Structure 1
């Protein structure tokens, strides 16, 4: 994937390590046999939960590719706009990156290492786009500049959504994924079925505009108001990741 890149301020990571792993773990049992074989053929024994945080980890690598990868983790959609009404920046964004990495995974002529990196990014980006503050307004770096306290500790709104609300459960990623995955019904899967990132972004922007607190001192009341929202976005991210990979690795339809 070739993108024109420029140095940008680096926002906090989307979903913490636990959240990204939860999305990957929820998706895993929902894969079709073809998708499971496709993922294993590229990642080997590496699970999607394990792969999910690799793009965040690699952002600390010193080479320019990784130093300029930040824009691929989010989109910017000002209030009152849709993603379709916004022109992606020259350095790209999560949607353009997802498109490019999907093409790389499909291209069997590409080196395995390149396809591995692309698949890890796909897993990660789909998780990112279900975190509401990764559909940023464009004026506060996705809530990074919104100072709050969380149970008395100074932080920012983005970090609360990345990890604070999830880690408040004090569960491992596998425990949380098992709990959330067990709640997903066939009706949920049908209702959430979408491999269109603009749908995910529209949901995230609608939720984003509801979660900015009036009082910056966040504690039990904010957790109570948003626990179900966080959990549903993790569930939906897992379902959409599975649906996306199922479509990506599906056998081409034969022409009659």
Structure 2
């Protein structure tokens, strides 16, 4: 076996990059100063899940990101309520199946007590009724426990910066409905908007970017408009659809056939 290190193992002992000649090593992504979640002001997270193994997995990922501060963990509805009463937070991550109750109750209580906090569901349940109900109660993200190609830390950073964090295969379903104009079924417990509440082409375009998890600044760059203009369009969408969050807007539009 050769004593020389593999050229694909990163930096070598002599300080060279370890990449073949002509190949530029990847640069660590920068976190723009205008986004929430800087190392000197990390995003505060509460985690509630009765699956101890899954809770450790998620906690380990969150703790490895200096932009996030894990304020507290709980494994039951009762202990989750205690966290809500004793901790300030920016993001609540909660499972729907808790040993002594349902995560829906905690979502509703968190939304009532901490109106500015974001809520991400982490669940093994992916049927549409659970997903939609979580959004109706005010969740801004829905992640499946068994899904690949997703990052819990990235989801936290997305929602605090105005995005919606949805597991890719769930987002794909929503996008499919947006593209194929489904029937006029609407999510339960949501008041249908008046017939004149149609979305403009630009509003539809922005909603599709929101469904993909893009934040305001990213949408503005892609469309060549300011972040302030993007937010103005989003406010108009909320008003037209009688919703209060980006996740609600996406799910409602997907099921109502408005776009």
TM range (shorter): under 0.3
| Structure of greater Rg | 2
Higher relative contact order (CA 8 A, sep 6+): 1
Q: TM-score, normalised by structure 2?
A: 0.25
Q: Which has the higher strand share?
A: 2
Q: TM-score, normalised by structure 1?
A: 0.26
Q: Which has the higher helix share?
A: 1
